[in-house]
Amino acid sequence: MMQTQTPVELPPLPILPENPSLLTRLRTGLKTLEVLRIHPTNPAFGAVFYDSVELGRCKELARQFSRHAEGRRLLADKPSLSASELDLEAMGKLPPGTFGHEFARYYREQGLQPIETLSPPKNDAQYIAKRLRETHDFIHLVTGYKTDVMGEMEVQAFSLGNLHLRTSMLILLNSAKEVHKHIPGFNTTTYLRRLWAAFRRGADSRQFASFRWEDHWATPVALLREQLIAPAEELN
């Protein structure tokens, strides 16, 4: 006889006010982190944690956006890449090699679903935080970093170099003690060299935050890589 599992009761989701102080952000981040240690894939708590950690950086990015036409257009339109806004079936029908086709294939093969943002952003900084969460997997596609543990660490190092994200730094630091267990044939020197190469590649690439990805579903991934990404360093 199959037993019915009792649903796990989570604590109330912390809500960040529109202009939280550093102390409020710290408290909120710690509360969400307690849940994420047990339920690391919870999207609601993950989003609040991301916002509490990155809000200061996203405010800085919003100020940068206001200084150039591409950024001003993005903040004016606030296009969404939430799951409800994406038609993966239609993207999958685009020619192979195009960004939309490869994006749909990536999600299908990985058994993933795009992020669905549960609450609308209240200001420009929150919108940028939302967009950075929604576009994380795009970096895998255009850089070519794999979706295994090593590839994910390289994406985090790339993001740290490209956008100076605190969450990327935290992930890299928090994984330092355990990562060797999840990478076959782990070698510390090789691992650190690959992270440093990914960091420098991110620093040398075009900043991704204001790029209008949704205008390029029909663009070949190879062309996007050529236009956006610094060449990968050859490691011996």
The chain-wide mean pLDDT, for the chain, equals 88
Range of the domain at 224: 22-228
C-beta separation of 106 from 140 below 8 A: yes
Whether the predicted pLDDT of 147 surpasses 80: yes
Q: Is pLDDT larger for residue 165 or for residue 35? A: 165
Q: Would you place residue 40 in the very low, low, confident or very high pLDDT band (cuts 50, 70, 90)?
A: low
Tell me whether residue 2 is in a domain.
Answer: no
**Helix/strand/coil for 217:** coil
> How many domains in the chain?
1
pLDDT at 41: 59
Residue 4 is assigned to a structural domain of this protein: no
220 part of a folded domain: yes
pLDDT of residue 5: 45
pLDDT per position as a tens digit, 80-135: 998 889 999 999 999 999 999 999 999 898 887 788 876 788 889 989 998 998 99
Asked if residue 117 belongs to a domain, the reply is yes
pLDDT in tens, 155-210: 999 999 999 998 888 888 888 888 999 899 999 999 999 999 999 999 999 999 99
**If you write DSSP's letter for every residue of 147-201 in order, what string do you get?**
SSHHHHHHHHHHHHHHH--HHHHHHHHHHTTTGGGGSTT--HHHHHHHHHHHHHH
Can you tell me the distance from the alpha carbon of 82 to that of 145, in angstroms, rounded to the nearest whole number? 23
Which amino acid, residue 230?
A
98 φ, ψ (degrees, to nearest 5): -75, 160
Q: Which of 209, 210, 214 is nearest to 81 (CA)?
A: 214
Q: How confident is the model over 146-157, as a mean pLDDT?
A: 92
* pLDDT score, position 55: 86
Domain assignment present for residue 203? The answer is yes
87: Cβ–Cβ under 8 A, 6 or more apart, which residues?
none
In a domain, 12, yes or no: no
